[in-house]
Amino acid sequence: MRLTDFKVLTFDCYGTLIDWESGLLAAMRPLLQHLGGRIDDESALVAFGRHESALQTEQPGLNYRKVLAEAHRRLAKDWGAAPDEAAALRFGDSVPDWPAFPDSAAALAYLKQHYKLVILSNVDRASFAESNKKLGVVFDAICTAEDVGSYKPDRRNFEYVLKRTKELGFAPRDVLHTGQSLFHDHKPAKAMGLATNWIDRRMGKSGGGATMPVEGVKTDFHFPSMAAFVEAHRKEVGK
> Which of 188, 184, 139, 181 has the alpha carbon at shortest distance from 164?
139
Give strand ranges (E) for 29-161: 116-121, 141-144
φ/ψ (deg, to 5) at 156: -60, -30
SS3 60: coil
Q: Provide the residue count of the chain.
A: 239
- Residues 6 or more apart whose Cβ sits within 8 Å of residue 66: 92
**Which residues are marked as active site?**
12
CB atoms within 10 A of CB 19: 19
